Amino acid sequence: NLFGDIHNFKEEVAQGGAQGPSQTMVLQKKFSDNVFGKIAKNKYFELTTISIIVLNALAIGVGADYSARFVTPANLYDGPVFFIVTEVFFATYFTIEILIRFLAYRQKCQCLRDGWFIFDAALVSLMVWETWIMPFIGGLQGLGQLSILRLLRLLRITRMAKLMRAFPQLLMILKGITAAARAVGWTAVLLVIISFTWSILFTNEYHQGHLSDEELAELDPGDPRRARTSDEGTR
């Protein structure tokens, strides 16, 4: 219920400082102690990745604004140098980042049970396809002309969801909004039921009966139909 959600939300806020060590323990258990594991468990590596995600989101916004103002070619490498450099840089970084995380697992099959890894791997595969494969085969098969591939590029913005894991306070706010939205939704349902019930009661009690529209307009001085009838009579 709503009050239970609020109570749990308050407990999470009160215990928010204790979430950091638990995340560290999860990483220690999931990743090995080899070179890649040490890199993946390093907090600066995670902060760098979060910063790159934010920069990637800003670059997507700049690209969307540019596409709205100017005609952009279907092939990435026929466009401005700025977009070529940024696309190659982001694709290279995220590819290296996903490879480091994969090689850091104690058991490589564990990555198939990690939802975040599967999510990131799908986005990286999409970036590799758009940056290094599609531009060279698009001219032959016309894939660069498909608008669906341009729309898929916007899926990269979903990587911003990783900020929820990096900043638990955002997740707490989202849970609070969800709990409040349920309450507001049921309030709207209640208002609809009340309005519908009273509309039936008033319609049955104060109905038009056998009166015509003109006769009904005479009973209401503010009815626009009465004013229109008066104007016609004056003419």
pLDDT tens digits for range 108-156: 898 898 888 998 999 899 888 888 887 777 654 544 444 655 666 677 7
Domain extents for the chain? 31-166, 181-234
Give kind and range of the element (H or E) at residue 65: helix 43-69
Residue among 163, 139, 132 at smallest CA distance from 52: 163
Gap between the Cα atoms of 130 and 114, Å rounded: 25
CA angle 163, 105, 155 (to 5 degrees): 35
Return phi, psi of residue 164, to 5°.
-65, -35
| Positive/negative CA dihedral, 33, 35, 40, 44 | positive
pLDDT at 13 over 60: no
Environment class of residue 127 by beta-carbon count within 10 Å: exposed (0-12), middle (13-18) or buried (19+)?
Answer: buried
What pLDDT score does 72 carry? 76
Query: How remote is the C-alpha of 189 from its chain's centroid?
Result: 26
Tens-place pLDDT, residues 191-212? 999 999 998 888 777 766 666 6
Residues in the chain: 235
Environment class of residue 101 by beta-carbon count within 10 Å: exposed (0-12), middle (13-18) or buried (19+)?
Answer: buried
Greater pLDDT, 225 or 55: 55
Tens-place pLDDT, residues 32-46? 889 999 999 898 998
What pLDDT score does 226 carry? 53
First-residue to last-residue Cα distance in the chain = 66
Right CATH for 31-166 from 1.10.3470, 1.20.120, 1.20.58, 3.40.50: 1.20.120
Are the CB atoms for 160 and 53 separated by under 8 Å? yes
Mean pLDDT, residues 79-104 taken together: 94
Q: Would you state the structure tokens that stand for residue 23, as one six-digit string?
A: 């995340």
